[in-house]
Structure 1
Amino acid sequence: MNINWFPGHMKKTRELLKSNLKLIDVVIELLDARIPMSSKNPEIDSILGDTPRVVVLNKSDLSNNRANNMWMQYFNSKGEDVILANSIKNKGIKEIIDLTNKKAFDKLERLKKRGVKNRAVRVMIVGIPNVGKSTLINGLAGKKSAKTGNRPGVTKGKQWIRLKGNIEMLDTPGILWPKFEDKKVALNLAFTGAIKDEILDIETLGLKLIERLLALSPESLINRYNIDVEEKTPLEIYDEIAIKRGCILKGNNIDYTRVSHIILDEFRRGKMGAITLELP
């Protein structure tokens, strides 16, 4: 699955990040806890430079607890402050606000000495599409401030949002990078919904997810679909899930498109359990 996708609005977002960074005190970098490295835009580090940063591993309820701890230790070892979050249930909101204010304290103190008092902490939130930015922003604001959706690309414009804790946030659309050189990274992004299903070979993607789950968490397939996976090929398991879910066309042919959507949707919503697709 060779993916080369760089919509125009993503190029504009990259330019927006660069042009507005001088206004920002702290950057909140939002990653998907199931794929922390794959969901980390490699361009972000060079764009942000030395700007203070808070790393948030969102959707931590969908990822494995042991893996969450491993990733936290990994980022801590790199000198990054990291918070586990579940934006849907507002988990981690207070910790993000507190750490953001802590990161901006020195700069605000310098501004006070120059006569600038009571200025709000200015933050920018960055992250790939469908990582949960809009939902997190609503939690940080304590109200429905940003457009939300379960499809990538819902947030398209630029907006400042007033948050709790005397914080102002510049929201930015999700940004991917021009080309995915690593096939595994591209698949991880596709599995978790960061790339729109409409531009993918959804049938192959469903089969690839079964292959990955067989290697990482075969019990997730066994428990969810009540099937035996031992000594079976991914395609045989694919067919068995389709039959179990009634994904059959005329002539007793398998409806691979339909069963692929079922498998991907149930993985993304955590119906198969808490699964992390990559480790440090």
Structure 2
Amino acid sequence: MPIQWFPGHMNAARKKAAETMAAVDVVIEVVDARLPQASSNPMIEELRVFRQRPCLKLLNKADIADPNITKQWLTALNGQKGIKAVALSAKKPGDVAKIGAWCEALAPHRGTAEKPLRMMIMGIPNVGKSTLMNALIKRKVAAVGDEPAVTKSVQRLDINERMTLIDTPGLMWPKIAHDSDGYMLAASHAIGTNAVIDDEVAAFLGDLLLRHYPALLAGKYGIATEGLDGVGVIEAIAKRRAFRLKGGDLDLEKAALALLKDYRTGVLGRISLETPASRAAMLAAAAEAAKPARPADDATDDTDSAG
């Protein structure tokens, strides 16, 4: 089932962000390092390109992403015009402390007491934006929660006399174009739980982990992964951990939630859900599928009629 999630307050937040961006120098976009493109809101890219603003793209949660794949993403993203991409963890003060200098390099004409550097931090829900901002300001200025869309209003904050930060709510976009993006976002908890079915999301995640990280599954849960599919992974976890309902049937919902939690928190290991190559292949397949079917050639009879 395709996953869509666009709470009503996000439309108003998008309009406010578009207005505010006219008066900023650098856009800081926070994405999830485990799915850097799927977690990048295309509306943010459209707004910043229209305003011709440079972007510092922060691949947050890099400490729980696959480091080899993160390197691939940094190479790909840094090859794009107007973007500087870096990987970090909002939980590491040393990483966060570098953000100001990175932004100054993108807007060297700003950053004085007379002309403070104006930065706007944006991103989809639950990518760690509020945690990162609190670390940058060095006090709690944004609510942090495990549920998406905790922040719902724009606020302006002074980092020092030379730098100002504008915070925006987590912004989704009205329609997620690719089903796999919706499932990756749901698995990473960027979408409200009322819009997803956890069993289906966990089965999607299980399939992906079987293809790319079977050893992590086997090591964490003590299960044999050969011959399993995503649903089989959930069943195996339920059996291994003795998750049972009162009648004795397997508690698949509890097993699904356990798998999702272990992935989201990094307990399962350092995992990335997409690579630049897999992204390109997915987009190519989607473009091919969207092509209109070619009409069958009309049958022709080249045989001369008898005289």
Deviations 1:18-60 (A, max 9, x none): 1111221111011110000100111222111211211110000
Q: Which moved more, 1:219-228 or 1:160-169?
A: 160-169
How far residue 91 of structure 1 moved from its aligned partner, in angstroms, is 4.6
Choose the corresponding residue for 1:100, options 88, 100, 103: 103
Question: In structure 2, what is the equivalent of residue 241 of structure 1?
Answer: 237
Match runs of 1:60-71 below 5 Å:
60-71=62-73
TM-score (norm 1): 0.93
2:158 counterpart of 1:162:
yes
Question: In structure 2, what is the equivalent of residue 113 of structure 1?
Answer: none
Task: Tell me: CA distance 1:65–1:92, structure 2 relative to 1, closer, same or farther (3 Å).
Answer: same
2:86 counterpart of 1:90:
no
2:152 counterpart of 1:152:
no
Deviations 1:115-167 (A, max 9, x none): xx533211100100000010000111112221111211111112112225832
Question: In structure 1, what is the equivalent of residue 78 of structure 2?
Answer: 76
Task: Tell me: CA distance 1:45–1:227, structure 2 relative to 1, closer, same or farther (3 Å).
Answer: same
Deviations 1:229-251 (A, max 9, x none): 11233333321201222310022
Q: For residue 2 of structure 2, give the secondary structure of its aligned residue in structure 1.
A: coil
Unaligned runs of 5+ in 2: 277-307
Question: In structure 2, what is the equivalent of residue 266 of structure 1?
Answer: 262
2:180 counterpart of 1:178:
no
Aligned residues of 2:110 and 2:117 also touching (Cα < 8 A) = no
Unaligned runs of 5+ in 1: 110-116
Q: For residue 123 of structure 1, give the secondary structure of its aligned residue in structure 2.
A: strand
Which whole-Å CA distance do the structure 1 matches of 2:197 and 2:272 have between them?
23
Aligned residues of 1:83 and 1:96 also touching (Cα < 8 A) = no
Question: In structure 1, what is the equivalent of residue 300 of structure 2?
Answer: none
- Larger RCO: Structure 1 or Structure 2 (Cα < 8 Å, ≥ 6 residues apart)? 1
Which whole-Å CA distance do the structure 2 matches of 1:101 and 1:236 have between them?
50
Q: For residue 170 of structure 1, give the secondary structure of its aligned residue in structure 2.
A: strand
Amino acid at match of 2:21: L
Aligned residues of 1:90 and 1:136 also touching (Cα < 8 A) = no
Question: In structure 2, what is the equivalent of residue 195 of structure 1?
Answer: 191
Off by >4 Å, runs of 4+ in structure 1: none
Aligned residues of 1:97 and 1:165 also touching (Cα < 8 A) = no
TM-score (norm 2): 0.85
Task: Tell me: CA distance 1:108–1:221, structure 2 relative to 1, closer, same or farther (3 Å).
Answer: closer
Q: Please, what is the CA RMSD of the aligned residues?
A: 1.6
- % identical equivalent positions: 33
2:119 counterpart of 1:123:
yes
Task: Tell me: CA distance 1:229–1:245, structure 2 relative to 1, closer, same or farther (3 Å).
Answer: same
Which whole-Å CA distance do the structure 2 matches of 1:157 and 1:232 have between them?
45
Question: In structure 2, what is the equivalent of residue 216 of structure 1?
Answer: 212
